[in-house]
């Protein structure tokens, strides 16, 4: 997986005529870290990948790959598995179309993850399958219990936290195609 993520990252950076230094600066990631990720020598966290997605103007699947089963680990113990990715044609809700990513999230007891802001207009909808997850904007999260759903605009930092033991959820992330989805 490291080699594939590194290759995709290198291709996207080159397609946007960004130097390694410039992308590192825009993403707030160390230049050495970025070099190691591109070279397949470092396994990036979900936080690092999202930090890179913003200046590249791409959804997460542009780096992880669009094949179901792509997985990642986030700081704080949250695990992610891509279940599906679809490109939607233009509609009244999304005049330029959208990319819809569906991830399964697993939270061990005590998991606490703060996700960085996504692009403008990106929405997340979390459905909890087991346990309770505190989720949403950092300054106003909601406790979402098994069988319930919560949605928010994720253009600011947002939190995912297992409350009272392990939890499992599905999150649907809808990104307007103002974010580049065409790759390099």
Nearest to 45 by CA among 29, 56, 59: 29
- CATH tag, 2-176: 2.60.120.10
Q: Domain locations in the chain?
A: 2-176
> Which two tokens mark 109?
């007891």
Structure tokens at 128: 């909890």
- Tokens encoding 40: 């397949």
Buried b (16+ CB within 10 A) or exposed e, 86-119: eeeeeeeebeeebbbbbbbbbbeeebbbebbbbb
| pTM (predicted TM-score) | 0.75
| Beta-carbon contacts of residue 22 (< 8 Å; ≥ 6 apart) | none
CA distance 184 to 173: 22
Contact of 46 with 73, CB cutoff 8 Å: yes
The span from the CA of 141 to the CA of 157, in Å, is 11
Ordered per-residue pLDDT tens for the chain, 184 residues: 568 889 999 999 999 999 999 999 998 999 999 999 999 898 888 778 888 887 888 888 888 777 677 777 777 889 888 898 888 898 888 888 888 989 999 999 999 998 888 778 889 999 999 999 999 999 999 999 999 999 999 888 899 999 999 999 999 999 887 544 443 3
Residue 178 has a pLDDT of 54
């Amino acid at each position: 997986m490291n080699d594939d993520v590194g290759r995709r990252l290198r291709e996207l950076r080159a397609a946007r005529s960004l130097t390694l230094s410039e992308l590192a600066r825009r993403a707030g990631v160390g230049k050495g870290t970025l070099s190691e990720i591109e070279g397949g020598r470092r396994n990036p966290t979900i936080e690092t990948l999202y930090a890179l997605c913003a200046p590249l103007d791409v959804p997460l699947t542009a780096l992880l790959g669009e094949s179901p089963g792509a997985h990642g680990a986030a700081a704080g113990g949250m695990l992610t598995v891509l279940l599906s990715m679809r490109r939607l044609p233009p509609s009244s809700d999304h005049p330029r179309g959208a990319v819809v990513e569906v991830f399964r999230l697993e939270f061990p007891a005590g998991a606490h993850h703060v996700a960085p802001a996504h692009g403008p207009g990106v929405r997340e909808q979390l459905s909890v399958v087991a346990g309770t997850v505190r989720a949403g904007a950092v300054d106003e999260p909601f406790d979402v219990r098994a069988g319930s759903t919560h949605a928010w605009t994720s253009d600011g930092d947002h939190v995912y936290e297992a409350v009272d033991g392990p939890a499992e959820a599905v999150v649907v992330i809808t990104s307007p195609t103002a974010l580049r989805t065409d790759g390099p």
